[in-house]
Amino acid sequence: MSKNGMAGDCLAIEAHGLVKVYGETRALDGIDLAVQRGQVFGFLGPNGAGKTTTIRMLATYTRPDSGTARVLGHDLVSEADAIRARVAVTGQFASLDDDLTGYENLTILGRLHGLSRTAGKRRADDLLAAFDLTDAAARTVGGYSGGMRRRLDIAASLIVTPDLLFLDEPTTGLDPRSRGQVWELVRQIAAVGTTVLLTTQYLDEADQLAEQIAVIDHGRIVAEGTSAQLKSRVGSGTLHVRLLDGEQRPRAQRVLARALAGTVHLAADPLALSMLLANPADATDVGRLVGHAMTQLADARVAVAEVALGQPSLDEAFLALTGHTASPTTDHEDVKA
């Protein structure tokens, strides 16, 4: 099957004003999207922002209350079956049978994808080998680790190579090594020309994988662009400070928040703090601001090991764009001045 579909149609997904209302909640409140073919498109937002609802809708599980979309050139509502034949979904919701083995899961899906019994068995064996799951093939999926499970989920989406792959939070809950494995898989899938739309709560994940990122919050896209474009929209830069003594971090946080009149992030590193600098009138202001902050820290007898001025992280970008952090975890506590 051709990867290009209809000639001249270069968009994998084209959506206008998608709305989904559940009771009182507008889960999607007018989503516009344009995803190029062959692109890895990142959908970034906190829990409940509407990421999964968007994927469910574009993968034809959920009907839009209003708005229109074309997926791989097919109308979302009237040509749902044509879309189903060419997309695959992996994620929090589209998953596998826990009480069957990895091999059984793949062979059943192979048959449902129209493979012959022999071809389905061969494909299952190949996928299990390629995903390093041969040893676990005969075990029921319920006993798999999170990383193994996610790999099998992705393998299940590749029984027939899809033209468009939806990955709903592919690395949520995985340890760093398993995350790295999934990232590598996504890159390889994209390399053969499959369009990937992935949702994530992790800013570094979108930064790592996605060529184009849409930031979603409360059912609306609040920003869109490349990682660099989003960062540049946010401000001039970030002040990173590393202390000698972690005990002094709360004091340093108070001093910085007062000195620069802004919000101080506590990084995962117990010695580190960071702070977004407001857009200064001109570049020389940056030096003056940082100098002032350092003087204040010295006056407060906070021992500083390292100071750096850098581009804002995507996390800080999200905070600036939506007014709250993307991460639901306690990695970042904010103290307002």
Partner 1 sequence: MSSPATIARPAAAETYQIDVLLTAGQPRRRAGALAASATFGRRAMLKIKHDPKQLVDSAAIPILFTVLFTYLFGGAISGSPANYLKVLLPGTLSMSIAIVTMYGGGRLAKDVTTGAFDRFRSLSVWRGAFVLGGLLSDAARYLFASAIVVVLGLAMGYRPDGGAPGVLAAVALVVAFGLSLSCVWAAVALLIPDPAVVISIANVVLMPLSFASNVFVAPQTMPGWLQAVVTVNPISHVADAARDLMNNSGGAGGPVAWSLIATAAITLVFAPLALHLYSRQR
Question: For residue 196, which of 174, 207, 211, 208 has the smallest C-alpha distance?
Answer: 211
- The rounded distance, in Å, linking the Cα atoms of 282 and 303 is 29
Buried b (16+ CB within 10 A) or exposed e, 268-307: eeebbbbbbbeeeeeeeeeeebbeebbebbeeeebeeeee
Provide, rounded to whole angstroms, the least separation between the CB of residue 201 and partner 1.
19
Contacts with partner 1 in 49-68 (CB under 8 A)?
Answer: 59-63
Q: Of residues 9, 75, 135, 245, which one binds partner 1 by CB under 8 A?
A: 135
> Which residue has 């494995």 as its token pair?
181
Binding mask 192-231 for partner 1 (x = CB under 8 A): x-x-------------------------------------
Which of 132/299 has CB closer to partner 1?
Answer: 132
Does 282 contact partner 1 by CB under 8 A? no
Q: Of residues 33, 37, 106, 131, which one binds partner 1 by CB under 8 A?
A: 131
Contacts with partner 1 in 152-181 (CB under 8 A)?
Answer: 156, 158-161, 177, 180-181
Q: Of residues 25, 140, 226, 327, which one binds partner 1 by CB under 8 A?
A: 140
Binding mask 98-117 for partner 1 (x = CB under 8 A): xxxx--x---xx-xxxxx--
Provide, rounded to whole angstroms, the least separation between the CB of residue 310 and partner 1.
25
**Residues with Cβ within 8 Å of residue 220, at least 6 apart in sequence:** 29, 30, 31, 50
Which of 148/223 has CB closer to partner 1?
Answer: 148
Provide, rounded to whole angstroms, the least separation between the CB of residue 205 and partner 1.
13
Which of 171/325 has CB closer to partner 1?
Answer: 171
In the complex, the residues that contact partner 1 under the rule CB under 8 A are 1, 59-63, 80-81, 84-85, 87-89, 92-101, 104, 108-109, 111-115, 119, 123, 125-127, 129-132, 134-135, 140, 156, 158-161, 177, 180-181, 183-185, 188-189, 191-192, 194
